[in-house]
Structures are given as C-alpha cells and as structure tokens.
Structure 1
Amino acid sequence: MSDNFFERKANFFDRWAPNYDILFTTVFYQAIHKRMLEYVELRSAANVLDLGCGTGRLLHRLATQFPHLRGTGLDLSKEMLRQARQRNQYPKRLIYIQGNAESLPFAQGQFDAVFNTISFLHYPNPTQVLSEVKRVLNQGGRFYLADYSTTRKVKLPFVPGQLKFYPLQQREYLADQVGLKTLAHHYLLSNVFLTILRA
C-alpha cells in the first residue's frame, strides 16, 4: 500500500483529533473498553502495546487498573498522539509514538499483550498487521482485537479507503495464517466482538 494512502489516513485523523473525545465515540468506546477489560488477563507488571491508540483512553484505563503496567500507544496520527501525551496521567509508565501497524518499530517478543479497538477495519493489509503483532508478542502473549464483525463492506465518503469488517470465522482464518491461536470470541456491544488470540 502506498505511503500516500497512509498519509491520507493520518491527515484524516489529525483533523478529527481535537474533537475526537467530545463526540459520540467517547461514550461508545468507554463502554467497549469497560466490557473488554472483563476478559483481559495480565500479569501485574505487564508490558503492553495499543495499536491505533488514538487519544490514549484505553491505555489510561489499563494503567489505572494495573498499577505496575507499562504501556506504549502507537498511532499514525501525530495529532491524536499529541492529545494522548497532553492527557497522559502516567508519564513514567505510558509513552506514545507515531508508527504504522504494518511495520512495528519494536523488538521481537517485546510485549505481553497487544490491544486493538475499532482500528483493524482501517488496515489495508490485515495479514501483515497480524504477522507484526505475533512478532512483537512474547511466547504466550495475547492479542485483544475488538472490532465490528460483519460481512458488509463500507465506503464512507469522508474516510480515506474502504473499511473492511471481518466475521469471526475470518478472523480465525487470518490469525491461523500467521500462527496466532484463537482462544475465544466475546460479544461486547452493537455488533462489536472481542477476539482473543495467543502467540
């Protein structure tokens, strides 16, 4: 996928960033995060990655619930990251960096868990993203993927690129292609399902 595609995606979210947390997404994402955390298992000093971290809400919740957790948020949008850094209440434990999920700037086996919330639908090369997730997870580490599960293809005029939704069976197939094992699926909210995968 061309650099121009990712640049357009980044620019779209840059423009949205200042108002992102005052729109409907705040309540919706909070509800999804709250339900997802019911299924999250982490050691007390876990090192985690949030792909497509946006303004950092999920990492903040994780850092609050797990007081020794260390976390990294990665996003294409520099403005989303600026919002996350400004609101970071745990600067000694949470950092935010710009990057592309298809080419993660991290070492092999660096993380105990990776999270991805309503972001997978934006990725043009899902198998490449899953391959990178597996690479940066340690042995037995978990990938918590929360996204819409549907067979519909959606093109919104204001969002660059076509959004891709994956039914649960297709998530399992894609995961199997890169050596990730599907542990469970859980319904969260409004056709959003959590899939837990293990490296």
Structure 2
Amino acid sequence: MSDLLKKQFDAVAQSYDLQRRPLIPCFDDFYSTATAWVNVDKNSPRILDIGAGTGLFSAYVQQKYPEAQLTLIDISEEMLKGARTRFGEDPNVQYISGDFATYCFDGQPYDAVISSLAIHHLTHEDKSRLFHTIHTLLTDGGIFVNADQVAGTSDYFDKRYKEQWEHTISQSELSNEVIVSAIERRKLDRNATIEDQLNWLYEAGFAEADCIYKYNEFAVFFAQK
C-alpha cells in the first residue's frame, strides 16, 4: 500500500469517525448489514479486522460479541491510536501496525475476518492475493465479511456514482476543506467490480460467496470457507 495513502489517512485520523457518516450516504444500512452477517457459533470468537482504521467495524461486532478476541491491523498508526482510544485498556483487543497486504500472520486461525473500506485501495492482483491469504487464516467454516467500495459495470455507472456521491456530500455539514480532501483521497481508489471480486473469492477456495448489499459503489460481501 502506498506511502501517499498512509500519509493521507494519518492526516485525517483524528476526525475520521466524525467524517465517515456524512461521507457514506448509506452509512447505517452499510454497517448494519455488514455486522448482521458476522455470525459465529462461539461466545468468544477470534476475529481479525483488516484495515481496521479507528476500529469502527470492530466496535459494532464487539457489541454483538462482547467476549470476542479482536485483532486490528492497519498501516496507519495514527488511525490505530483512534482505535486504542475507542477500546481503552480492553485486554481482548490487540493491534498490529503494518501493511495487511504483505503482513505475515501467524498463530491460531480466526473464526471471522472482517474489513471495511480498506481493500479497494489495493491493486487487483493484490486483492486476489489477499483473498487467498484470508482463506488460509480462517477456520473451517470461518467467514469473511467485507464492506467496501466497488466499481460499476461500466464507466457510465462509475461516473454516475461519483456525481451522486459528490452531490450528496456537498449538501452535508462537512466543510469545503474536508470535502476537497475526501475527493482527493478517492483519486487513489482502485475499485474492482462485484463480478471480479466474487471470482477471486471462489478462486481463493471459498465455498460460498456473494454480494449481499449494494448502494451505488458501496457494497458488502460475504464469503464462507
């Protein structure tokens, strides 16, 4: 993952959570759907959050599984500082400062891997490679829930999605500086189509995979090993 991307997220870390809701027009449905599909048959599941940022998705999952053992990895230590503030001294939450695309995970397998708005920053080749890694990290029957951005089926839809998103955030309470910064960050996006991502998930070895929610370029994927 690029140094430029890391610098951009370091810069917005302190205000990231406050900005996220107005920057995601479908925020409530997006995260509630993703959280609803994190279902495991354990009271204390081992869960890995890839590109965890300030730990928002993990916090939703923790509300559902209060005894979950959470591991959060992110390339931005500044973002992880937000997660450390969010979870305090919780002994069930661990942190890894590193690039999830290249990090060598070890130890026991995870019951679930989750991610939100992170994997789309990778090249398509790295996305496919990461899906293979995630498959190997999961227990048999383990699940992967990815709430992320996707490309449209054509340039026409990508253009329409961008126009609608920019119009929506321009009507929000966000300052012009924040809006300009968000638009600039999105120039680094490398969105992939739903079809390609489902193909990569099946190629990685997942037995089941589908896009279970979509609103313009925001989508939630579910896959089971």
TM-score normalised by length of structure 2: 0.76
In the TM superposition, residue 104 of structure 1 has moved relative to its aligned partner by: 3.0
Deviates more, 1:78-87 or 1:95-104: 95-104
Is the contact between residue 18 and residue 83 of structure 1 (CA under 8 Å) also seen in structure 2?
yes
The residue that corresponds to 1:68 in the other structure is 67
In the TM superposition, residue 189 of structure 1 has moved relative to its aligned partner by: 4.0
In the TM superposition, residue 77 of structure 1 has moved relative to its aligned partner by: 0.4
Please list every run of 5 or more consecutive structure 1 residues that lacks an aligned counterpart in the other structure.
none
Is the contact between residue 150 and residue 191 of structure 2 (CA under 8 Å) also seen in structure 1?
yes
Matches within 5 A, 1:3-152: 6-23=2-19, 25-26=20-21, 28=24, 29-42=27-40, 43-89=42-88, 91-107=90-106, 110-124=109-123, 125-151=126-152, 152=155
Is the contact between residue 113 and residue 142 of structure 1 (CA under 8 Å) also seen in structure 2?
yes
Per the alignment, do residues 157 and 64 of structure 1 end up closer, same or farther by CA in structure 2, a change over 3 Å counting? closer
Per the alignment, do residues 10 and 62 of structure 1 end up closer, same or farther by CA in structure 2, a change over 3 Å counting? same
Query: Helix, strand or coil for the counterpart of 1:158?
Result: helix
For residues 109-158 of structure 1, what are the alpha-carbon distances to aligned partners after superposition, in whole Å with 9 as ceiling and x for unaligned?
A: 52111111121210122112112211211222111112233235799873
Deviates more, 1:28-37 or 1:56-65: 28-37
Q: Measure the CA separation in 1 of the matches of 2:191 and 2:61.
A: 26
Aligned length: 194
Letter in 1 for 2:191: F
Matches within 5 A, 1:156-195: 158-159=184-185, 162-195=188-221
In the TM superposition, residue 100 of structure 1 has moved relative to its aligned partner by: 1.4
Aligned-residue RMSD, C-alpha: 2.5
Is the contact between residue 111 and residue 138 of structure 1 (CA under 8 Å) also seen in structure 2?
yes
Letter in 2 for 1:12: Q
Deviates more, 1:160-169 or 1:139-148: 160-169
Please list every run of 5 or more consecutive structure 2 residues that lacks an aligned counterpart in the other structure.
163-181
For residues 139-196 of structure 1, what are the alpha-carbon distances to aligned partners after superposition, in whole Å with 9 as ceiling and x for unaligned?
A: 2211111223323579987338742222222111111222223333211544422211
Query: Helix, strand or coil for the counterpart of 1:138?
Result: strand
For residues 3-27 of structure 1, what are the alpha-carbon distances to aligned partners after superposition, in whole Å with 9 as ceiling and x for unaligned?
A: xx5322211110010111121x135
Per the alignment, do residues 108 and 133 of structure 1 end up closer, same or farther by CA in structure 2, a change over 3 Å counting? farther
As a proportion of its length, which structure holds more strand? 1
Query: Helix, strand or coil for the counterpart of 1:150?
Result: coil
Query: Helix, strand or coil for the counterpart of 1:60?
Result: helix
Letter in 1 for 2:30: I
Larger radius of gyration: 2
Letter in 2 for 1:168: I
